[in-house]
Copies of this chain bind each other. A is one copy, B any other.
Amino acid sequence: MPNAPLSLVDAAEALAAAGRRFHARGWVLGTSGNFSVVTTREPLRLAITASSVDKGTLTPSQILDIDESCGVHGGTGNPSAETLLHFEIIRRRGAGAVLHTHSVWSTLLSDSHGLDRGLSIEGYEMLKGLDGVRTHEHREWVPIVANDQDMPRLARVVGAVLDQHPDAHGVLLQRHGLYTWGASLTDAVRHIEILEFLFETLGRTAMYRSRGGYHGIAANS
């Protein structure tokens, strides 16, 4: 799965582009979200967004060069406490990039379906954009994990969920947002767009299908 890692400079530019793209769609408002890319495997080093920065206007200095102990070797600011989740996903999935967004629809679905501990997405052509999926007849289970401010504990729970669902392409934190990943940043950006598209589609479809007495769709005079 691993692709050729990006240099730190290229990673910073590519993360800023992803940030502008997601901010424009309202998926990382108010400094929410965080993004990382593996720059070297041995030793493991990440380019990761600093904590509490606006993802729509990322500058190179807001991208930190960190090691596996969260030591900062470049950039200004501190890594977010959620960096532990990034390392957990990188280790369990061999991912080259991890992206976390906070959209309205992922917040809504992760809240309303939290008791089910996940939601399934099935029968959509868009699923074929997920790594390794070859047909719309695929059934994707997106686990939902309760939110927690104790990050070492949350990282252990997410790690266990990743092991229980080895085919999952993303994880929702309840009333918090989406984590997804990919062999490369390009793959991870694609996974964000696909899963966010599918969440909006699921949410709107459930509302459309539940409408009451009037079921026609042609215009009336």
Contact = CB atoms under 8 A, between A and B. Distances in A.
Interface of A: 21, 24-26, 29-32, 54, 56, 102, 104-105, 107-109, 111-114, 119-126, 129, 134-137, 147, 149, 173-177, 186, 189-191, 193-194, 196-197, 200-221
B206 A29 contact: no
Nearest to A28: B193
6 contacts: A104-B197, A104-B200, A108-B201, A111-B220, A124-B219, A210-B212
B197 A111 contact: no
Contacts of A196: 29
Nearest to A52: B129
Contact of A221 (B31, B123, B212): B123
A209 B217 CA distance: 10
Interface centre among A196, A201, A204 (most CB of B within 10 A): A201
Contacts of A29: 126, 193-194, 196-197
This chain's copy number in the assembly: 4
B204 A211 contact: no
Given A112-B208, A123-B219, A206-B216, 20 more contacts: A26-B197, A30-B190, A31-B129, A32-B126, A32-B129, A107-B205, A108-B204, A113-B217, A123-B221, A124-B176, A125-B147, A125-B173, A202-B217, A203-B204, A203-B208, A206-B211, A206-B214, A207-B207, A210-B215, A211-B212
